[in-house]
Amino acid sequence: MFGEGNPVADIMLVGEQPGDREDLAGKPFVGPAGAVLDRALEQAGIDRSDVYVTNAVKHFRWEQRGKRRIHKKPTVRQINACRPWLDEEIAVTQPKLIVCLGATAARALLGAQFRLTQHRGEIVEGDGLPPMTATIHPSAVLRAEDDDREDQMAGLISDLRSAAEYVNARRVSAAG
């Protein structure tokens, strides 16, 4: 499944892989994690229609449990196999900043050495790709314990706000 959004977006958001709802709809982040992402974007002052939203892995990997299709983490091989499509999306969109949502996207674009816990929110440049940064995946907010959920959400919003500030600052300096 391809991404969706503004084809000339300043910000590209990269998730892990489509979930059950996304697989059925053919669109990224339209299920429960998408609802968290939408709320976080709104709180960060980012209009979803201004960004391009996609995934590192282009298919839903799942296992059957009863009637439900349960998410399974993609393998490194699957991440690598999908990389050419992601590269094409980046080449066409040419975002000013790529925001990796969670460890899978960070692994795909920032490499196996990158540690989200240590380097989240930092801007990484180099390797012929646009500047990149990483934050938590919206589903981490859903998975958080009740007493931690608000903090996780606040962190996601704050990282997205910093991403918006970064591209806005570059837009201003490009214009001036």
**Min separation Cβ 93 and ligand URA, Å:** 16
Quick note: the x/- pattern for ligand URA over 93-112, rule CB under 6 A, is: --------------------
Interface with ligand URA includes 18 (CB under 6 A)? yes
Q: Which two tokens stand for residue 47?
A: 């209009």
Q: Which two tokens stand for residue 91?
A: 């080449």
Interface with ligand URA includes 5 (CB under 6 A)? no
Interface with ligand URA includes 78 (CB under 6 A)? no
Q: Which two tokens stand for residue 11?
A: 């910000």
How many angstroms separate the CA atoms of 78 and 100, rounded?
A: 17
The single-letter DSSP state of residue 102 is S
> Of 11, 12, 19, 89, which one interacts with ligand URA (CB under 6 A)?
19
Interface with ligand URA includes 22 (CB under 6 A)? yes
CB-based closest residue to ligand URA: 15
CB 108 within 8 A of CB 132: no
Q: Which two tokens stand for residue 65?
A: 């449990």
How many angstroms separate the CA atoms of 157 and 121, rounded?
A: 11
Interface with ligand URA includes 15 (CB under 6 A)? yes
Interacting residues toward ligand URA by CB under 6 A: 15-19, 22, 28-29, 31, 33-34, 55
